[in-house]
Amino acid sequence: MRNFISVNHLSEEEIFSIIETAEEFRHGETRNVTQQLFAANLFYEPSTRTKMSFIVAQKKLGMDVLDFHSETSSVRKGETLYDTAKTYEAIGANILFIRHQDDTWYDNLLQTIEIPIINAGAGKGEHPTQCMLDLMTIYQEFGKFTGLNVAIAGDIKHSRVARSNAYALQRLGANVYFSGAPEFADTTLDFPYISMDEAAATCDVMMLLRIQHERHEEKYVDKDTTYLQHYGLTTERARRMKKHAIILHPAPINRGVEIDTTLVECERSRIFKQMANGVYVRMAIITKLLAERGFIHDLTKERKK
């Protein structure tokens, strides 16, 4: 694994190995880089969870963190992502963490940038580290993926989380369903659509997504007051969920829109557990990339000894 761009690039063995390593970090395992290494966080889109959990992961692994703010950088003078990434590599960054609004921003970087690149979010394309922390959270709960019914509900069309999760979960044997307003359906993704009532009654995992207003070409006429009743998880629907079923949400959450506010921290909710897992899964991914370059000892290889 030289870069981390999409979960689809990983074998099933690699997916389970990342989850296993993340669990070891969760249980107190530690690792430190063997020399000074600079981690550069190039976030061109807003972020709270992904950026901060990457920074926590980088610091826990003993890395030096280089921050970047596009609005006060030479991006303001027209510098491209490509030239910015090349610049960070030239001045000594050892690994790049990039979030950018382009769905495939990494295409023209992977050929020439030699240091590892981690996809921290690509437009409407993929959000692979979010996917890995979601997989970790589901696996903690059920100990398997095969046969689980997973409903992904909300603004599917504009969601990189939906795309990453749907393919990864299907590959791992889960039955994936989409649910949501017709205008948010994505006909390019071949997954069955069901109503929220059916999703609530049949799913083991209910994954909710917010309306991604910032990615809409036309302003979505604000139906927020009725949206919850039609397409969201109400308390009434949550009561009809299976006893063991859990609620996930990548966050940020629009309380009262895609989910009733009282459900955000309810017994079924694993939303804040997802965020905590985000640190461990990101530590695991960084460790694997740096181990390939000999900058840190790989837990997986030590496990096999």
Residue 47 in the binding site for ligand CP (CB under 6 A): yes
Q: Are 7 and 131 in contact (CB under 8 A)?
A: yes
Binding segment (CB under 6 A) for ligand CP, from list 49-57, 58-66, 169-177, 217-225: 49-57
CA–CA dist 243, 251 (Å, integer): 24
CB of 52 to ligand CP, least distance (A): 8
Which residues in the chain belong to E strands, given as ranges? 38-43, 64-66, 95-100, 117-122, 149-153, 175-179, 205-208, 246-248
Cβ burial 255-282 (10 Å sphere, 16+ → b, else e): eebbbbeebbeeebbbbebbbebbbbbb
Tokens of 116: 């590892």
Binding-site size for ligand CP (CB under 6 A) equals: 10
Nearer to ligand CP, 175 or 212 (CB): 212
Nearer to ligand CP among residue 42 and residue 291 (C-beta): 42
Residues in region 245-264 near ligand CP by CB under 6 A? 250-252
Closest CB 84 distance from ligand CP, rounded Å:
20
Tell me which stretch binds ligand CP (CB under 6 A): 62-70, 177-185, 228-236, 244-252: 244-252
Identify the three-state secondary structure at position 153.
strand
The minimum distance between CB 235 and ligand CP, in angstroms, equals 24
Q: Which residues inside 115-154 make contact with ligand CP, applying CB under 6 A?
A: 121, 130
* Residue whose C-alpha is closest to residue 290's, from 136, 170, 118, 154: 118
Determine the Cα–Cα distance for residues 264 and 149; give it in Å rounded to an integer: 21
Cβ distance to ligand CP smaller for residue 17 or 164: 164
Q: Residues interacting with ligand CP, by CB under 6 A?
A: 47-51, 121, 130, 250-252
